Structure 1
Amino acid sequence: MFDRWLPYSLLSHYKFPVLDNPPILEQYGALAETLAFKTKDNINISGWFIPAKTPSTKTLIVLHSRGATRQDMLEFSLPLWQAGFNLALIDLRGHGRSGSDYFTFGYHEWQDVSGLIDDLERRHPIATNDITLIGVSAGGAVATSAASKEPRIKRLVTIASFADLNDAIKQQVPLLPEFWRNRAIREAEKMAKFDIAEVSPMRAIKKVKCPVLIIHAVEDEYIPFENGKILFAAATSKKEFYAIPEANHANMLRLAKEELKTKIIQFASK
C-alpha cells in the first residue's frame, strides 16, 4: 500500500472543480470563451480565452501550480488582462476539467501549451503573434519546458519555479529514507511514462531563446529562493530577475500584486 501511495502522491491529487462562469469574470467585465482541444498525445485539455477589449496581437498564457486550476489564476491574471492583453488559461492535464490521471511537471505538459497555441491559431490567429507564457510554481516548470521547445512563445515568465525536480523532491521530503524515495520515483516514472531526471528547468532554460523573467519570493520555504537564482544563472537568452521581498510561496501573488502587475506588464509589452 505504501509503495503505491508514494508514487501516486507525486503524480496525482484531487481534481478541484471549475465553474462555467466564475463571478470574478463579471466583476472585471470579462467574457471567457471556452476552449476544448486534444494534445498531440491525445489528452483532452479545457481552458478559456478572454480577448482584450480592444483587438490585440499580444496574448498572455498563464499556467497554474500543481493541484490548482485555471480558475485559481483569474485573480492574478485579470488585472494583467486589463492592461490590453488577450488572456488564455488552461487546466493542465490531471487538473480541473482536463484529462489524464497524472501530472509530470512539464515532461508531457509542454504539449498542453503547444496544443493551446495550435487551437488559438485556428480560432484567433491574431492572438498568436506575440505570446508571453507565464507559469507559477510547478506551472513555471511546465512553462520553461514549453518555451524550450515551442518557437511561437516570445517571452517566458517563471514565478517560484523549482530548478530541478529531483532536488525539489529531496528538499520537500527530507525525512524520507533515500531507498523509499528512489523506489517511489522509479515507480512514478513507470506509471506516468516519464523520466524525472529530464524534468530540470535549469537545463531546459538553457535552450530557451526568447527573453525570460525569473521571479521568486525571498522567504519561500516550499521552493527556496535559491531555485530562482539557479534558473537565472542558467538562462542564456536576454534575462531579468525580480525578487519579491518579505513574501513566501503561499502569499507572494497576493502581497506583491501591484509590483508583479507592473513588472509583468512592462516585460510583456516590450
Structure 2
Amino acid sequence: MARRMGARDTLGIAAAAIGLLAAGVTAAGAIIAVKFARQVVTPPTSRVEDVRISAVDLASGEVVLAASDDSRMRGRYGFWFEHESGHVRLGDVVAEDARLVRRRIERVDFGRFDRAARGRVNGWYHLGPWELGHAYENVVVETALGPAPAWFVPAEGGSDRWIIQVHGRGAKRQEGLRAVEPAWEAGWNTLLVSYRNDGEAPESEDRRYGLGGTEWADVVAATRYAIEHGAERIVLMGWSMGGAIVLQSVLRSEEVRERLVAVVLDSPAIDWVDILRFQGEALGFPRGLGDVVSRLIGGPWSGGLTGLAAPIDVTDLDPVARADEFDMPMLLMHSVDDGFVPIDGSRRLAEARPDLIEFEVFEGARHTKLWNHDPERWTGLLRGWLERSAEGPERIQEEAEIVG
C-alpha cells in the first residue's frame, strides 16, 4: 500500500526543490534529477525488453535479432521475452552485419519464442541450482527484517569452507549460479543469498535500496548463518551493487571479518558518484546531472522526493577512501567495456591496495557478463583463487608476491 504524503514530506519536497534551484539547476533539470534519483533507489518491478526479434527459426535453431551492444555480445546468455513469461538460452553469434545479428538457440525453456517480438539479454543463463547437477537445499537466513530465502550447494563430502554469493541491483540469487561449479570443484560450499527489497527477502519500511549502506546487515546475517552451520573459512563474493554491499559489510562488521579469508568482486559498484555521472550521460541527461542526483539522495529533506527513509551520503560508501582498513586479499574482475558501471572505480581501488588486490581486466564483456564472454578464463580465475583461499590469506599473498 502506498504511503500517504504528510506535511513533513511536503516540506521536504519544497526544501529539496529550493536547494536544487539554488544550486543552479533549472526547473526542468530538477524534474529530471528527481526522476533519476527515484529510479536509482527504487527496486525495479519490470525490465525493459530492449532487443527486437526479427525472426525465429526453431527448425534450424537460430534467431535473428536487431543489432545492438547486447545482441552482439559473444558467449552464452539467457533471454527473457513476453514480459518474462518466456525464456530461452542463446548461444554464440553465428553471423552479423550493421543491422542484424544471427545467434544460435540452445534451448527454449518456456513460452512461445516463435511468436515473440522483443526481449532482453540476461547474463544469468542458469535458472536455478537444480540445473547444475549437484545436491542443493532451500534454506532460510534469519535477518533483522525477517527470514530471507537462500540456496545452499554443499561441496562433495562436506566442507568447512563457504563462499557467500551476493547478487546485484535488480538481480536475484540466480546471478551467482555461474560461480557454483568452480566453487564446487575447489571444495567450497556455496550460499546464494537474498537481501532486503530484492523481491525475495523481506522489505524494509521504505522499500528502497541503500546502495550498500543498509543491505550490508543482511550479509552479516548470512555470515552468521554460515558460521552456525560449520563455516571456518568464508569468502564473500559480490556482483555489481552486491560488491558494494560486500565491501560495506567488511568495513562495518567485526563479525563478518572474524572468519573471512578473501573477497571476490565481479563488476563491482565502487564509486557511486562516478556511476551516477556515467549512467546519467548514457541516458542522454545533461552533463553533471549525476552530481545533482548524488546531492539529492543525500540531502536531509530528500525523503519526500525519493521515498528514502534516511538520506544516502554516497561519499560515505566509497571504499577507496577507506582502503587502508582492508586486510584480506581480493580478486577484482571488471571489463573495460562494462557499459553500466565504469571500470574507473575498480582501477582506483586496485591502485590503492596493490598489496591485497589481484585486478583482472576483461575486454569485450559487458556488465556482470564476464563468465558469459570468457567462461574458461573467468572460471579458472575463481577456481584458482578459491583453491589458494582454502589455505588461508597467507597463501594468496605468497602467490601474489611470486607473480609480482
Normalising by structure 2, what TM-score? 0.59
Secondary structure in 1 matching 2:43: coil
Residue 119 of structure 1 corresponds to which residue in structure 2? 225
2:296 aligns with one of 183, 198, 206: 183
Matches within 5 A, 1:1-270: 2=31, 5-14=35-44, 24-40=128-144, 42-74=145-177, 76-83=178-185, 84-100=187-203, 101-122=207-228, 124-125=229-230, 128-148=231-251, 149=253, 150-151=256-257, 152-174=259-281, 175-176=285-286, 178=289, 181=293, 182-186=295-299, 187=302, 191-193=308-310, 194-235=312-353, 238-249=356-367, 251-270=369-388
Pick which of 246-255 and 130-139 moved more.
246-255
Q: 1:209 is aligned with what amino acid?
A: D
Once residues 326 and 307 of structure 2 are traced to their aligned partners in structure 1, the CA distance between those partners, rounded to angstroms, is 28
Q: Secondary structure at the match of 1:253?
A: helix
* TM superposition shift of 1:14: 2.9
Please say if residues 138 and 149 of structure 2, whose CA atoms lie closer than 8 Å, have aligned partners that are also in contact: yes
Q: In 2, Cα distance between the equivalents of 1:264 and 1:39?
A: 28
Change (3 A) 1:13 1:72: same
> C-alpha distance in 2, partners of 1:44/1:237?
38
Give the TM-score of the pair, scaled to structure 1: 0.85
Share of identical aligned residues, percent?
21
Contact 1:144 1:204 in 2 (8 A): no
What letter corresponds to residue 146 of structure 1 in structure 2? S
The change in CA–CA distance for 1:160 and 1:85 in structure 2 (over 3 A counts) is same
Q: CA deviation at 1:250?
A: 5.5
Higher Rg:
2
Residue by residue, what CA displacement relative to the aligned partner does 1:146-199 show, whole Å, maximum 9, x if unpaired?
222321321011111132112211221132464852335532687142432211
Q: Which has the higher strand share?
A: 2
Distance 1:15 1:32, change over 3 A: farther
* Structure showing the higher helix proportion among its residues: 1
SS of 1:105's equivalent in the other structure is coil
Structure 2 SS opposite 1:13: coil
Q: Secondary structure at the match of 2:164?
A: strand
Per-residue deviation at 1:46? Answer: 2.1
Tell me whether 190-199 or 156-165 shows the greater mean CA deviation: 190-199
Q: 1:53 to 1:255 in 2, by over 3 A?
A: same
**Per the alignment, do residues 81 and 240 of structure 1 end up closer, same or farther by CA in structure 2, a change over 3 Å counting?**
closer
Equivalent AA in structure 2 for residue 9 of structure 1: Q
CA distance in 2, matches of 1:96, 1:137: 17
Does structure 2 conserve the Cα–Cα contact (< 8 Å) formed by 1:68 and 1:96?
Answer: no
Q: How far apart in 2 are the matches of 1:238 and 1:4?
A: 39
Q: Give how far 1:239 is off.
A: 2.2
Structure 1 residue ranges, 4+ long, deviating more than 6 angstroms after superposition? none
Relative distance call for 1:36 and 1:268 in structure 2 (3 A) is same
Paired position in structure 1 for 2:24 = none
Decide whether the 8 Å contact of 1:145 with 1:205 is kept in 2: no
Deviation at 1:35, TM superposition (A): 2.7
Determine if contact 1:208/1:237 at 8 Å carries over to the other structure: no
CA distance in 2, matches of 1:10, 1:114: 24
When residues 206 and 46 of structure 1 are mapped into structure 2, their CA distance, relative to the original with a 3 A threshold, is: farther
